[in-house]
């Protein structure tokens, strides 16, 4: 778990510059991501890899992977305790909103970015077509341990992830403002893509002295 000392105002200035390159802006008084003096840090790489593996299995269940095979894979991976109740219900018994779970593909992509498996998290671009090849291959099936062993990329730093979170924090606000006013998201943004990627970044970035939230208890 890595941490950094950073000025949220300096980070916001960089975000504003990037927003302007997209033809977007937020008010100069828009709330900062975190108070001055707090130190953002990242969850452990194992936690992030486990979360990616779980959502990968969820996507496979959306496309009718048998529940017994899904549960056996997670059991062999020793990550069952990383599941939240709604995920357990869907994977083990098909309970819940299949459409809602299917929309987590962009969350999966954001986790891959945090792990350094993909080279961009451009909010104007969806996940890459070759992206599934970077994930555990459940058709073989490739074990969690074998998949971890073939990943040679270095995870993002706490600074990179927090800077990206600040960008998505602002973009999500812009999408929400458009929705409340009855307009389409600005700049051709996909509000579902923005929200699902922000969910990951909010979960990945934590703060010293605070208890990290469970996946399904992340506050927006």
**Domain membership of residue 63 as a residue range:** 45-149
Q: What digits encode the pLDDT tens for the residues 143-157? A: 999 999 988 789 999
* Inter-CA distances, 218 with 1, 133, 174, Å: 19, 28, 20
Give the pLDDT band of residue 136 (cuts 50, 70, 90): very high
Answer yes or no: is pLDDT of 185 > 70.
Answer: yes
Of the candidates 193, 60, 76, which has an alpha carbon nearest to the alpha carbon of residue 132?
60
pLDDT per residue as tens digits for the range 48-62: 999 999 999 999 999
Query: And the tokens for 137?
Result: 């291959």
Residue 2 lies in a domain: no
Final residue of a domain: which of 106, 127, 149?
149
Q: Which of 99, 122, 149 is the last residue of a domain?
A: 149
Residues 6+ apart with CB under 8 A from 149: none
List 43's β-bridge partners, or say none: none
Please report where in the chains the tokens 């000025």 appear, as a residue.
7
Mark whether 56 and 37 lie in a shared domain: no
pTM exceeds 0.85 for this model: yes
- Please tell me whether residues 85 and 125 are part of one structural domain: yes
Q: Is residue 116 part of a domain?
A: yes
Can you read off the two tokens belonging to residue 88? 């357990």
Give the pLDDT band (50/70/90) at residue 37.
Answer: confident
Kindly report the average pLDDT of the chain as a whole number: 93
Task: Look at residues 149, 181, 200 and tell me which one is the last residue of a structural domain.
Answer: 149
Nearest Cα to Cα of residue 136 among 151, 122, 121: 151
> Tell me, what DSSP letter sits at residue 103?
T
For 91-115, write each residue's pLDDT tens digit.
999 999 999 999 999 999 999 999 9
Residues 82 and 57 placed together within one structural domain of the fold: yes
Give me the phi and psi of 84, to 5 degrees please.
-95, 160
Q: Are 80 and 172 part of one and the same domain?
A: no
Please give the pLDDT value at position 191: 96
pLDDT tens readout for residues 186-212: 999 999 999 999 999 999 999 888 889
Residues 109 and 141 in one domain: yes
185 inside domain: yes
- pLDDT recorded at residue 197: 98
Task: Verify that 119 and 71 share a domain, yes or no.
Answer: yes
Domains: count for the chain: 2
């Amino acid at each position: 778990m890595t941490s950094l000392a950073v000025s949220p105002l300096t980070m916001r200035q960089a975000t504003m510059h990037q927003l302007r390159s997209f033809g977007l802006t937020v008010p100069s008084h828009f709330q900062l991501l975190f108070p001055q003096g707090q130190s953002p840090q990242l969850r452990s790489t194992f936690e992030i890899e486990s979360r990616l593996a779980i959502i990968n299995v969820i996507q496979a269940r959306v496309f009718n992977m048998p529940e017994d095979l899904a549960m056996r894979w997670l059991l062999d991976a020793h990550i069952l305790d990383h599941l939240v109740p709604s995920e357990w219900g869907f994977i083990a018994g098909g309970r819940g909103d299949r459409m809602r779970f299917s929309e987590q593909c962009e969350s999966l992509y954001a986790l891959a970015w945090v792990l350094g498996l993909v080279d961009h998290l451009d909010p104007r671009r969806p996940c890459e077509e070759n992206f599934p090849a970077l994930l555990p291959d459940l058709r073989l099936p490739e074990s969690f341990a074998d998949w971890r062993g073939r990943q040679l990329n270095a995870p993002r730093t706490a600074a990179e992830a927090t800077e990206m979170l600040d960008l998505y924090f602002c973009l999500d606000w812009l999408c929400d403002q458009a929705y409340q006013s009855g307009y389409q998201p600005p700049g051709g943004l996909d509000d579902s893509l923005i929200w699902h990627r922000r969910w990951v970044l909010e979960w990945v970035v934590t703060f010293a002295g605070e208890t990290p939230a469970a996946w399904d208890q992340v506050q927006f």
